Copies of this chain bind each other. A is one copy, B any other.
Amino acid sequence: MQAKIERSFTESRRREQIVAAAIETIAEVGYQKASFAKIAKRAGLSSTGMISYHFAGKDDLVRAVTEKIVGTITAHMIERIEAADGRADRLRTYIETNIGMVSVYPAQMRALLDIITAARDTSGAIQVDTQPITDRVGLMTAELRDGQRTGEFGEFDARVTAIAITGAIDALVTERAFNPADDDELHRSAVELADLFLRAIEPRRTS
């Protein structure tokens, strides 16, 4: 009985199963080519009708997929970042952890990157709830400004820097997601990237 009650509260298993199949499909063939037919086949469904039954449309499915991935990754990242001490360490942890996600959730990261860049609706506008994406830049901008206020960071344009950092992370992740390297090599690159930006934003002594 509990299972039945739970179904009322949580998403149905089919929904989760479809979302999981969609993630794998997008990771493999890309957003464009991830048709309902392919997703249904991977989910073990006999027809695409079932997907339409559970989701209002492709947009709705992609939204669910994005939420699922962002949720998974965010949860994973937050606890690590919270453990960091000071702005600089927080930023380093953010960069390294974010890049590290490609080791832990390769399919999710590949799918997410594809959705971010490729998923637009009929009007050409980005379709995905860009909240988690744009927020990334917004939150990092705020973070950087905080660091500037406390003197932990130097003088620079916080917004441009935030765009640069997230762009650089994505570029590195994209490269490694499609041309996988071993985890050690990936980690070294992540450390290098964090070093790079920390050097760029550290406070400068005027001689």
**Copies of the protein in its oligomer:** 4
Bound together, the chains give a CA A84 to CA B42 distance in angstroms of 53
Bound together, the chains give a CA A164 to CA B78 distance in angstroms of 23
A residues bordering B, Cβ < 8 Å?
28-33, 117-118, 120, 122-124, 126, 156-157, 160-161, 163-172, 175, 178, 188-189, 192-193, 195-197, 199-201, 204
List 26 A-B pairs, Cβ < 8 Å.
Answer: A28-B124, A30-B120, A30-B124, A31-B118, A32-B118, A117-B117, A126-B178, A156-B192, A156-B196, A157-B188, A157-B196, A160-B193, A160-B196, A161-B192, A164-B164, A164-B171, A167-B168, A167-B169, A167-B170, A167-B171, A196-B200, A197-B200, A199-B199, A199-B201, A199-B204, A200-B200
A172 touches B178 (CB 8 A): no
CB distance from A192 to the nearest CB of B (A): 4
Bound together, the chains give a CA A118 to CA B115 distance in angstroms of 10
- The interface centre, meaning the residue of A31, A120, A160 with most chain B CB atoms within 10 A of its CB, is A160
